[in-house]
Amino acid sequence: MAKNYIQDGDRITYTNGTGSDISSGDPVVVGGLVCVALVNIADGSSGALAAEGVYELPKATGVIAQGEAPLFVIAAGNFAAAATTAAAGDISGSCVAWETAASDATVVRVKLNTAPGTVESGV
């Protein structure tokens, strides 16, 4: 193994400075990454986030098709169809829908961080 190896990169340590506690399973944005809390993380504490894998996460109304790169809407804390108008801070292009989620579904299965995400300017 190379002497400069650090880790596999499937997890990232995150320090919660949101002002609220984060629950295990919650989506957490780190720059252009959409990650998932692997543990409860109290405000001011650090914990592990998954940066890879397929997770079932909150979804807005509307169909998200298998293979689509849905928009992560920061204000709502959920995924919306890629055609949704982005607001400042929303993350586009980082995840892929692993299967189709019907319009009335409240969750979507997404593969995390398949590509570098774009933090939208909302313009």
**How many beta carbons lie within 10 A of that of residue 121, not counting itself?**
10
Return left, alpha or beta for 4; rule: phi > 0 is left, psi -120 to 50 is alpha, else beta. Answer: alpha
Handedness of CA 107, 111, 117, 118 (dihedral sign): negative
- State residue 75's pLDDT score: 96
- State residue 123's pLDDT score: 64
Query: Do 32 and 94 touch, CB atoms closer than 8 A?
Result: yes
Residue 10 has pLDDT above 80, yes or no: yes
pLDDT tens per residue, range 84-123 = 999 999 999 999 999 999 999 999 999 999 998 999 997 6
The whole-model pTM stands at 0.93
- State residue 81's pLDDT score: 98
Return left, alpha or beta for 103; rule: phi > 0 is left, psi -120 to 50 is alpha, else beta. Answer: alpha
pLDDT tens per residue, range 52-69 = 999 999 999 999 999 999
